[in-house]
Structure formats: structure tokens, C-alpha cells
Structure 1
Amino acid sequence: MYGERLVIPPKFQKRTLQQLHIGHPGVEGMRSIARQYVYWSHIDEDIAKLVQTCNECASVAKIDRRTILESWPVPKKPWQRVHLDYAGPMDGWFYLILVYSFSEWPEVIRTRKITTLATVGILRGIFARFEAPETLVTDSGTQFISSPFDTTALKWV
């Protein structure tokens, strides 16, 4: 024993790594599990090597992309760009927050549903009062990237 962890002899380390790797929890997930139950010298390096050579882990790994953050350009006219996102739930309600970039005026609409159809219905009402924007900026939530939303958005243009 090493504290409350079981010291794994070299003969069983590979099998232990395979058990820790069930579900493909990634390097940090495996290390977290291992630190609770098992120990051997260089276990962290062995875990990192296993995850790096796993095709399934590599296919879903986050790509570390370094980007330069830039502010959005200032719009030159109304309805050139609109930003929207959902907030909530708060007391069973969601809030669609739409901000006009030109004036930075917010529109906040309370709703119980955040489905694509509910979102399209809300936006139809707003765009009927004003007009459809040239650019619609979202966080790529599922309701904003679905095929029905794309189809409807093309009609607005």
C-alpha cells in the first residue's frame, strides 16, 4: 500500500491502465481515478502515453487552437448585425437575449421553450416589427445550427 492506494507491480500495470481507460476519460480523468486507487512510479507518464496512442481519444480530443481575440467591427447601419443567446433557466423560464450591435439595444423575450421552432417563432415576431439582420451571431447552440433554423434563416435574407 502507498497511503490508501494499492501499489501495482509492473506485471499488472498494463492491465490496470486498460481498466482505468474504460470509457476513454482522457488524461486528466484517468489520472484523477488512478490517484484515488492505485500507484506506481511514472504512472502519470504511462497514462499520457496510453491516451496519446488511443485513436478513439484522439478523434474526440479538443484541438488547442490559439487565436487572436478581436472585437467585432462597429456596424455602419442598423440591423447589420444582431447577437443572440439564451439565458436560464430561472424559475422555469428561459430568456432569449437579442442585442442590436448598432445601438447595443437589448431585446429580452421570456419563454418556456428553447427549441428551434420556438426560437424561429420568437425571431419571426421581432423581425416582423423591424427587419431581418444581415448577420446573425449566435453561440452555435443546437437550436441555432439545426437544419430547420438554417432553412428559415435563408428566407429572412
Structure 2
Amino acid sequence: MQDDIADHVKSCLDCQQRNMDPRHMTVEPLGTFIIPTKPFARIHMDIMGPFPISRQDNTHVLSIQDSFTKFAVAIAVPNITAEVVIDRFLRHFVYTFGPPARLITDRGSNFMSTKFQNMCKTVGIKHEPTLPHQKNSNGQVERL
């Protein structure tokens, strides 16, 4: 069966014209973002780690990047629970720069939690999670 599939892909005109490697095809097409026209109109947020435990008992980094200016903030966190992410995001970003209009995150349980959703609603942020299993769809901050 694998040989039949490989033969079909090799003879498929659409596949050849697009020069697509079937191993890299996405299940869903990636969406496009509207280009922001001012700072903090759209920010991207993700969590990096785990890293070795720091002297302050931090194991992860909450990374935030503005898509207009490319300004980035990296915040050390002891864990990635929704409570900690909300606290650090508010204290180190929102209270300093104001709430962004739109926030792009992956679909991590901390970002999809009711607490995080309520925080976004309370502060007036439109939360836009990326497509599941598509880390490229939040590439702005993935490259940080």
C-alpha cells in the first residue's frame, strides 16, 4: 500500500506543481494575520523550557513578542500553571505596557484554562489560540 501511495503522489500533477513533500503537509492550512499598524495591537506569547532550576527556583521562561515592533520580553517563571502565567503576564507586561488588543498563544492548558480566558475578557484582550499541533502558526514567538 505504501508503494501505491508513493506512486500516486509521484504521478499527481498538483503534488508535482506545488513541489510539496507529503511529510510536511499540514492537516489544516495556516491562517494569515492582518499586519498590525501600531505597537501592541497584536502580541505573541509562548512558554520555553523546562530549563535547569535557577537560583530563584525558576524552570521556564514566558516569552512575549510584539508583532509590530518585534519588541520582546522574557519572564522567568517557577512553573507553567495558569495562575503563574496570568500573574507574570499582568505584572511584567500588562501593568507596564497596557493590554494588547490581540494575544496569540498555542493551545497549552494554561492558555486555554477558564482562568486565563476570564483574565483576557476582564482586561479586554482578544485571545486567539493557534491551530492545534501547528507550532509554525505562532512562529513569531517560537523563534525568540
TM-score (norm 2): 0.60
Going from structure 1 to structure 2, the CA distance change for 1:133 and 1:143 (only over 3 Å counts) comes to: same
Number of aligned positions between the proteins: 94
Residue 86 (structure 1) shift: 0.3
- Structure 2 unaligned spans of 5+: 1-24, 54-58, 125-144
- Structure 1 unaligned spans of 5+: 1-63
Q: Which of 75, 82, 95 lines up with 2:36 in the alignment?
A: 75
Higher relative contact order (CA 8 A, sep 6+): 2
Which residue of the partner structure matches residue 111 of structure 1? 77
Q: Which of 62, 65, 75 lines up with 1:96 in the alignment?
A: 62
Going from structure 1 to structure 2, the CA distance change for 1:70 and 1:151 (only over 3 Å counts) comes to: closer
- Deviation string for 1:105-147 (max 9, x for gaps)? 1100111111000011011111001110111100010000101
Residues 8-157 of structure 1 mapped to structure 2, 5 A cutoff: 66-92=27-53, 93-125=59-91, 126-157=93-124
Residue 101 (structure 1) shift: 0.7
Residue 74 (structure 1) shift: 1.7
Going from structure 1 to structure 2, the CA distance change for 1:90 and 1:141 (only over 3 Å counts) comes to: same
Q: Distance in 2 between matches of 1:140 and 1:68?
A: 17
Higher gyration radius (CA): 1
TM-score (norm 1): 0.56
Percent identical residues: 26
Q: Distance in 2 between matches of 1:83 and 1:124?
A: 15
